[in-house]
Structure 1
Amino acid sequence: MKINLSKLSKKHIAISIGILVISTATITAITVGDLQSKIKITYLGQSAFMIEADGKRIYIDPYNLPEIYANKPADGVIITHSHYDHFSRTALNLISNNLTEHVGPDSMATYKNFFNVSAINPFENTTIAGFNLEAIPMYNLGNSPMHAKTQGWCGYIIEIHEIRIFHAGDSDNIPEYEDLKGKIDVACLPIGNRRQTMGFSEASEAIGVIEPEYVIPMHYWEIKPKSFKEYCAKDHPETTFKIMKEGNVFYI
Structure 2
Amino acid sequence: MLKGQIDITWFPNSWIRLRTDKKVIYFDPAYLTTYFSKYPDKTEFSKWPDPIDGLPNGLEKADIICITHHHKDHCKKVTIDRLRNKATKVFAPKTCLTELGDTFQIVKTNDRIKIDNEIELEVVDAYNTEKGSSTRKQHKKGKGCGYIVTLGQLRIYHLGDTDFLPE
Structure 2 length as normaliser, TM-score? 0.74
Q: CA deviation at 1:63?
A: 1.8
Q: Please give the residue correspondences for 1:110-125 in structure 2 after superposition, counting only pairs within 5 Å.
A: 110-111=98-99, 113-115=101-103, 117-125=104-112
RCO comparison, higher one (Cα < 8 Å, 6+): 2
- CA shift in 2, pair 1:97/1:169, >3 Å: same
Which secondary structure does the structure 2 equivalent of 1:74 belong to?
coil
Give the corresponding residue for 1:44: 11
After superposition, the C-alpha distances for 1:136-165 in whole angstroms (9 at most, x for unaligned) are 1011113965111142x1011111121111
Match of 1:98 among 86, 99, 106: 86
Name the amino acid aligned to 2:55. Answer: P
Could you tell me which residue of structure 2 aligns to residue 203 of structure 1?
none
Partner of 2:165: 174
Note the C-alpha offset of 1:54.
3.5
Identity %: 30
How far apart, CA to CA, are the structure 2 residues paired with 1:165 and 1:92?
Answer: 21
Instruction: Name structure 2 gaps, 5 residues minimum.
Output: 32-53
TM-score by length of 1: 0.50
Q: What count of residue pairs does the alignment treat as equivalent? A: 140
In structure 2, the CA distance between the partners of 1:174 and 1:96, relative to structure 1 (3 Å rule), is same
* 2:76 match: 88
Q: Deviations over 1:116-135 (max 9, x none)?
A: x1211112111346610011
CA distance, structure 2, for counterparts of residue 167 and residue 132 of structure 1? 13
Whichever of the two has the greater Rg, that structure is 1
- Greater helix percent: which structure? 1
Question: Which residue in 2 is equivalent to 1:66?
Answer: 55
Shift of residue 73 of structure 1? 0.7
Runs of 4+ in structure 1 deviating by more than 4 angstroms, as ranges, are none
Instruction: Name structure 1 gaps, 5 residues minimum.
Output: 1-11, 13-34, 177-252
Instruction: Give deviations 1:16-58, integer Å, cap 9, x for gaps.
Output: xxxxxxxxxxxxxxxxxxx941111111221111111142111
Are residues 1:131 and 2:122 paired? no
**Which amino acid in the other structure matches residue 161 of structure 1?**
G
- SS of equivalent to 1:110: helix
